[in-house]
Amino acid sequence: MQPSRVLLHRILTPVAATLLATSVVSVGDVTAPTSLASIAKKDDITLADKDSMVAFIDLHVSRLESGDAAERPKARQALLASVYGISSRRATPLFRELYAEQLIPKLKTIMAESDTPQRIAAAQIAGGLGTDSAVSLLMRHITPHEQPDDAVRVWTAASLRPLIVQINVTPSRLNRSIGTLGQAALVEPDWPVLRQQLETLAAATSNQRGEEGGQANLMTLAREQQTAVLTRLIERLKDGELDMLLVIEPHMRRIQQQFLDQNDVDTLRAQARKTVPAVSGLYEAILANWDTIQEDQRRARIAGRALQKAEIMIVLMDNYLTKQSNSTAPKYEDAIVSNNRAPIEAGKTKWATLGDGPAYQ
């Protein structure tokens, strides 16, 4: 019988550490190979293979750190080639562990000390490694306190997404990272970062890791975090942070799609009960900022589209719970652009207290 992938990960981690610790061959005279493809598919990696790996990493990390604008993307691609993309399907768990063991400390240094382009590249490379250590590295740069550069935080949040599908990453590590990501999003000041954080939470809510990979638990945790973040975004919008519209509006369709793609009865009920009360606060938030929204036509259109998507989702989810809702297909975008509060006031009256009903308790 074949060992499970989770068990295989636990077995290989000490094996990888032992192989690294026992290597005494100098790599100073080792020529870096042009590719690690032949080593990546091995289940039995020799010390000579390891030395070639180290030489390869040293070469391309040096190019990443000190190369010009044309060299850096090539170095990033070289470091990702064996572990990310179509060719990475042949990479063995042992190779991933050994490769990450050598590369992660160098990426850690880059993310702590280098300029923004190199730190972004380091985050992108970490996202392709497919190991617990890569997740841990990214999570050290997820908040403004840990990583003041918002451009880097955008990529630390985005680079978590490919790690969600990597079965070599353990469920416990992913669960912790999604919990930490959700907490970081509650206090994130920059809307482009928030967009990526919500996109990653959305990816976790629809993950396909299977039972052994912790799919159900990760979905539940991610949905809870997503709802908490959405509630907080609407509160911030109500308090006058109008940039939150740039996060809320595109994410409405993502949540709706999650609901439509789901067929588990308990999951659908849980999502509806948590999402509808959160989203129904959007009417009041927009009305509270009406005059300021009117000052910018683009902002007015975004606010209208956000409300239209919100109401479609409210009706969809409430109908699942109560079978009593119906959509009047309101044209909120036209109403807001033409400075007509009446439809939004009516929507608030109709939907604002929906979450107080017995179906939501």
Instruction: State pLDDT tens for residues 309-344.
Output: 999 999 999 989 988 877 666 789 999 999 999 999
Rounded CA separation 122/127 (Å)? 9
The whole-angstrom separation of Cα 91 and Cα 36 is 10
CA–CA distance, 324 with 271 (Å, rounded to integer): 18
Q: What per-residue confidence (pLDDT) applies to 22? A: 37
With cut-offs at 50, 70 and 90, classify the pLDDT of residue 358: confident
Cα 134 to Cα 4, 97, 140, distances in angstroms: 21, 10, 10
Q: What is the pLDDT of residue 295?
A: 96
pLDDT tens for each residue of 110-133: 999 999 999 999 999 999 999 999
Percent of the chain with pLDDT over 70: 91
| Domains defined along the chain, listed by start | 1-169 (1.25.10), 217-361 (no CATH)
Interval 262-301: pLDDT, tens: 888 888 898 899 899 999 999 999 999 999 999 999 999 9
Confidence of residue 361 (pLDDT cuts 50, 70, 90): confident
Alpha helices (runs of H) in 23-168, residue ranges in sequence order: 37-40, 47-66, 71-80, 93-113, 116-129, 132-139, 150-164
Quickly list H helices, the chain: 5-22, 37-40, 47-66, 71-80, 93-113, 116-129, 132-139, 150-164, 171-187, 191-205, 215-238, 245-261, 265-279, 282-288, 290-294, 297-322, 332-337, 342-351
